[in-house]
Structure 1
Amino acid sequence: MTCDAHHPPSRTGLIQIEECLDGNGNIRLPPGTTLIALIDRNIANVGDTVAYRYLDHTGPAGTRTVELTWSQLGRRLRAVAAAIQRVAARGDRVAVLAPQGLDYVVGFFAAIKAGTIAVPLFAPELPGHAERLETALGDAEPAVVLTTAAALGTVRQFLNAQNHFRRPELVVIDEVPDADGDAFAEVELDVEDVSHLQYTSGATRPPVGVEITHRAVGTNLVQMILSIDMLDRNTHGVSWLPLYHDMGLSMIGFPAVYGGHSTLMSPTAFVRRPERWIEALSDGSREGRVVTAAPNFAYEWTAQRGVPAAGADIDLRNVVLIIGSEPVSMAAINGFNDAFAPFGLPPTAIKPSYGIAEATLFVATIAPMAEASLVYLDRAALGAGRAVPVPADTPAAVPQVACGQVARSQWAVVVDPATGTELPDGHIGEIWLQGNNIGRGYWRRPADTERTFRARLRDTRGAAGHTAGADLDGHWLQTGDLGFHLDGDLFVTGRTADLISVGGHQHYPHDIEATVADAAALVRRGYVAAFADPDEKLVIVAERAAGTARQDPQPALAAIEVEVLRRHGLPVADVVLLPAGAIPRTTSGKLARRACREQYLRGTLGAH
């Protein structure tokens, strides 16, 4: 994060990368480096520059752009933090139940500034996720809920209907006047304080709150900046990701570190017209480098519905696109690259990455000048726990995308969890992590915290392994993710909880799901869930592709059964076809296989 001749001298007061590294090049944050301290530094040095921009697509007159400079943000934070302090004590939880927008950004940072613990959630109108919201609120027990005037009625109605947690005070962010900031009482924050609770997506179990400290979030932001090579101050963010999601929060965290800005929009605006994302990226690309992030489905959707007309004034030459799904889809990458290469998108733009909420977010990505790459692995060996490369045209070949190199000052080892032993490269095991970016534990779950965040590595492979520089006597995070190291890259093969066990053999659901999509054009690609029932029989749930509602499903059902048996040696016990949108997904857009399985077994699948 060095300054150069193209930037005004005032930027020299911003934090420099050298301040964040020790003599050996390891990440060591300066004393007192909290999110609020970083924001205060930006206010002092680049106060008149834009911090956050929101593109509001809800009005009848087209897009409305709303901006906050760092100085304006500072005034809003003092005012809202003072309002929080009137009704909450230090360490209380403050939940943000607000629509996407700059008021959400203000609420999140103000809760931290007030000395409370922010709980980024979502307004109750998010369809299909009321149960997750109830779970998170019941778990966090917030003393205060922050919302906006527009969402106040819905939020109040939702809270009044809850009887299993105490009724929180309500603060309406956009009704707090700036003048209230005069009553703000300064709070000394420590880097080991919990800044916020990040609730997990709920893909494989009910959501739980991860305690993220200031040290963890600051370390992880620096790790991302170094890995993505965002050292140029003229780098900005563009994001439609929900601000309650860990990557959405990171997209508002970047500017706090390097003094740039992020342009935000709502997930709904993106889904309805994905070209908006492309247009915002193009606008940012003309200013300098622009960074964004999204899961598989967003790249697929944009390649299908968001490609501008040939010759449109779109410039994607300076764009960096993080793709962080589990696992990353090469088909999504290739489809997006093909669609947007005519608009200047470099082949190195898309960065397959791996992250997890328990590690604040970021773990690994490919090098700045590298292109996305994959290996083809033997399916039978993969199921037996070994990554054996085979030619791409091998009938039993399974593609696996490389997630690149682990971030600086973070360690990722592949472990046999039964023995705590590090496995050799090419062997599949559970990914364990260590580093100052790891969260402190799960909120009010000491047993789960001990089991997940306090693992001990009992045996390493020394120089042949991946523990050089790690604290071998320290704790490790058991991620629940399966993967392997090969030729310098980390690969993620899936989640332990998602593995399908039939007849003593393990199968990866996404591999079967891809087979289902290949077998029948009637199936909506990316919207298939595979799991085993209690009798270890394979069940397939798939959404219909657009325009197929009147088609006879029998040929597709037969083709699916034949192809799954041929490729995987598995008989299919049941195939359920549903309309678009019927398969449950997490709030971050991932398949919720656990919820899908539970609904199937209860007989309620597709009933909502």
Structure 2
Amino acid sequence: MADAFRNEGSRFDRPELTDYLDADGSIVLPDGVSLVTFLDRHIDSVGDAVAYRYLDYSHDADGTVIELTWGQLGTRLRAIGARLQQVTTRGDRVAILAPQGIDYIVGFFAAIKAGDIAVPLFAPEFPGHAERLDAVLSDAKPSVVLTTAAAAAAVADFVRSLPRDSRPRIIAIDEVPDSVGATYQPVRLDTDDIAYLQYTSGSTRAPVGVEITHRAIGTNVLQMVISTGIDWDIRSVSWLPLYHDMGLLMIVCVAVFGTQVTLMSPAAFVRRPQRWIRRLAAESKHGPTFAAAPNFAFELSVERGLPDEGEDLDLTNVVSLINGSEPVRITSMEKFNTAFAPYGLPSTAIKPSYGMAEATLFVSTIDLSAAATVVYLDREQLGAGHAVPVPRDAPNAIASVGCGRIARSQWGVIVDTETEAELPDGEVGEIWLHGNNIGRGYWGRREETNQVFGNKLQRRLATGSHAEGAPSDATWLRTGDLGVYIGGELHITGRIKDLIIVDGRNHYPQDIEATTAEASPKVRSGYVAAFSVPANEVPGASADEVGERVVIVAERAPGAGRGDPQPVIDDIRAAVSRRHSLPLAEVLLVAAGVIPRTTSGKLARRACRALYLSGELGHRNH
């Protein structure tokens, strides 16, 4: 990817990759560079080129196309930015509570251009997450909420529920005329200023706002460019929520690249996954195409997104499909590759990857030309913290997908959490990260920031250290994720907080969940939650019982709702006992949609556990 940042046939001379690399090849953003620097360059240079395209399926099954050129974006940013400057003081938080669409993008970038701190969120009609929205607004304390005219009434109702002294002003993005932009005053932004607060999805705790700086944004986008091998002319397609780190980085990448992205809403994709596949094919007619999605999207696309009979789709130029945000499953990738290979999808297209909000997003992936790799590990040894390869057909084998190599100018080490010393390859520990892409900390949480972002590695490996090149006094981010290096690739084994410990043995919930899904076709794959509860909380247990017991909650597959559930429960119990040597305290079969998920679509195991303990999941099967 020697000239990834220069295209001789492009309409203007783009900066070269070397402009952002030092003599050693490390990524270094010049002082004064900000997200607005990149935006203004593209607005001035390619004003009539399309930057963002949104497909609105709310009134038209085929999608109404709404396009925004760079020039139009500049006009709208000045108008909304000027309006914000009238009612905010530099550094104020500005929350975006708007539906997915062009206005959301304008509001997000305008808040930053005005010198405020953007807080990307979602409109209050987003089902099931009002409590999270309330918690985030109470934490961020925005002085202004940006929304749209269509969503303004719902936003106003929600704001009225907040304490009177903390109610933000509401501005409808699409009601601010372009003429207001005449009063916009340029703001000098420092590279280390906070651009936005990325609130975590809350899969294992209450959401907290990660302080993402302009340096972190620029560094992380460049890291992704180098790691994925994508270039300036690549097109992208995304249905990911714009308030989620992965969806947000898709539009931020366009702001840095100066290319274009086609967007749709998450609901449009979930209702008809074909829309995503068709758009990928449409964009790939123009050249290499890139997208990102969590693992469940690949499963859903196989189930409900296949082209109609006789439909002519060409996916040959779909060169990179980042698979991240939730555990990557080899079976999901194999199904997707098999289903779409007849339409030209390269076998190397899916890229297992790892990322997190605290790192802006991107941490690791596999090379552009590489296919996903899987190794099979001994389950018992893995539970004891050792990655021991075994044959695929070994009775105790568990599949582990490699998530590639850590990005340039970022370091990832595997650490013993008790000694805070680096572990060698093949040993499981917590993943610690260091680099200029790491967020500055958690908004308003000094103690938690020190605990998570301010760690010192007590001892590096004498040889083969993955910390080589990082400063000796570097501070490290504790990710809370468990991982291991195998053959130079990073493998993610689970979350520390989700780890199930029974009788002194470690079990990974996603492993148990996969076994459950495979046990019966009447279980909805990808919609299973496994967790542990105190033994004395299990119905029928005596109050003096100690230890932990395992509970499984599984959603029924389509068409499986009317049958007798007991044979399915028996199959699950037998499979988990055989593969994991675990007795199950409870197996609950529930309707589709019952298991809670975070706003980013991840399984919310802790929330499911809370529902179970409160009895809200209904009848319990023994």
Which TM bucket (shorter chain)?
A: over 0.9
CA distance in 1, matches of 2:618, 2:359: 34
CA distance in 2, matches of 1:155, 1:51: 28
Residues 246/164 of structure 1: CA separation in 2 closer, same or farther (3 Å cut): farther
CA distance in 1, matches of 2:135, 2:72: 34
TM-score, normalised to structure 1's length? 0.98
CA distance in 2, matches of 1:304, 1:606: 28
* Gap regions ≥5 residues in structure 1: none
| 1:405-424 mapped onto 2 (5 Å cutoff) | 405-424=405-424
| Alignment of 1:185 onto 2:185 | yes
2:9 is matched with 6
Render the CA deviation track for 1:285-335: whole Å, top value 9, x for unaligned.
111111100011111000110110344221111111000043211111111
1:549 is matched with 561
Residues 274/445 of structure 1: CA separation in 2 closer, same or farther (3 Å cut): same
CA distance in 2, matches of 1:390, 1:87: 63
1:566 is matched with 578
2:539 is matched with none
Which segment drifts farther, 357-366 or 518-527? Answer: 518-527
1:505 is matched with 505
What one-letter code is carried by the residue in structure 1 that aligns with 2:439? G
2:218 is matched with 218
CA distance in 1, matches of 2:265, 2:5: 32
2:149 is matched with 149
What one-letter code is carried by the residue in structure 1 that aligns with 2:575? E
| Contact 1:524–1:544 (8 Å) recurs in 2 | yes
| 1:52-91 mapped onto 2 (5 Å cutoff) | 52-60=52-60, 62-91=62-91
CA distance in 2, matches of 1:571, 1:294: 34
1:403 is matched with 403
SS of alignment partner, residue 395 of structure 1: coil
Which segment drifts farther, 376-385 or 124-133? Answer: 124-133
1:19 is matched with 19
1:117 is matched with 117
2:441 is matched with 441
What one-letter code is carried by the residue in structure 1 that aligns with 2:272? R
CA distance in 1, matches of 2:415, 2:527: 31
Which segment drifts farther, 56-65 or 486-495? Answer: 56-65
Deviation at 1:31, TM superposition (A): 2.4
1:241 is matched with 240
Render the CA deviation track for 1:88-141: whole Å, top value 9, x for unaligned.
111110000000000000000000011110000000111111111111111101
CA distance in 2, matches of 1:468, 1:65: 49
SS of alignment partner, residue 166 of structure 2: coil
| Contact 1:216–1:436 (8 Å) recurs in 2 | yes
Render the CA deviation track for 1:35-66: whole Å, top value 9, x for unaligned.
11100000111111111010111114742111
Which segment drifts farther, 461-470 or 494-503? Answer: 461-470
Residues 165/208 of structure 1: CA separation in 2 closer, same or farther (3 Å cut): farther
CA distance in 1, matches of 2:618, 2:527: 13
SS of alignment partner, residue 301 of structure 1: helix
Aligned counterpart in structure 1 of residue 589 of structure 2, from 577, 580, 583 = 577
| Contact 1:326–1:492 (8 Å) recurs in 2 | no
| Contact 1:234–1:287 (8 Å) recurs in 2 | no
| Contact 1:351–1:371 (8 Å) recurs in 2 | yes
CA distance in 2, matches of 1:294, 1:603: 33
Q: What percentage of residue pairs aligned between the two structures are identical?
A: 58
SS of alignment partner, residue 541 of structure 1: strand
| 1:354-503 mapped onto 2 (5 Å cutoff) | 354-503=354-503
| Contact 2:54–2:263 (8 Å) recurs in 1 | yes
Which segment drifts farther, 246-255 or 102-111? Answer: 246-255
1:539 is matched with 551
| Contact 1:194–1:212 (8 Å) recurs in 2 | yes
Aligned counterpart in structure 2 of residue 595 of structure 1, from 603, 607, 610 = 607
Deviation at 1:30, TM superposition (A): 2.2
CA distance in 2, matches of 1:119, 1:411: 28
1:172 is matched with 172
CA distance in 1, matches of 2:618, 2:335: 30
CA distance in 1, matches of 2:280, 2:204: 33
CA distance in 2, matches of 1:352, 1:318: 18
2:323 is matched with 323
Deviation at 1:2, TM superposition (A): 3.2
SS of alignment partner, residue 285 of structure 2: helix
TM-score, normalised to structure 2's length? 0.95
Which segment drifts farther, 258-267 or 513-522? Answer: 513-522
| Contact 1:137–1:165 (8 Å) recurs in 2 | no
SS of alignment partner, residue 411 of structure 2: strand
Render the CA deviation track for 1:175-194: whole Å, top value 9, x for unaligned.
00010001112111011100
Render the CA deviation track for 1:395-426: whole Å, top value 9, x for unaligned.
11000000001000000000001111000100
What one-letter code is carried by the residue in structure 1 that aligns with 2:10? H
Render the CA deviation track for 1:547-582: whole Å, top value 9, x for unaligned.
111100011111111221111111100111110000
What one-letter code is carried by the residue in structure 1 that aligns with 2:6? C
Deviation at 1:606, TM superposition (A): 6.5
| Alignment of 1:299 onto 2:311 | no
What one-letter code is carried by the residue in structure 2 that aligns with 1:569? S
CA distance in 1, matches of 2:103, 2:167: 22
What one-letter code is carried by the residue in structure 2 that aligns with 1:369? S
| Contact 1:582–1:606 (8 Å) recurs in 2 | no
Render the CA deviation track for 1:458-515: whole Å, top value 9, x for unaligned.
1011331211111121100000000001111000001001000111111000100111
CA distance in 1, matches of 2:370, 2:310: 28
CA distance in 2, matches of 1:495, 1:148: 38
CA distance in 2, matches of 1:316, 1:7: 24
CA distance in 2, matches of 1:556, 1:340: 31
CA distance in 2, matches of 1:424, 1:480: 18
What one-letter code is carried by the residue in structure 2 that aligns with 1:405? R
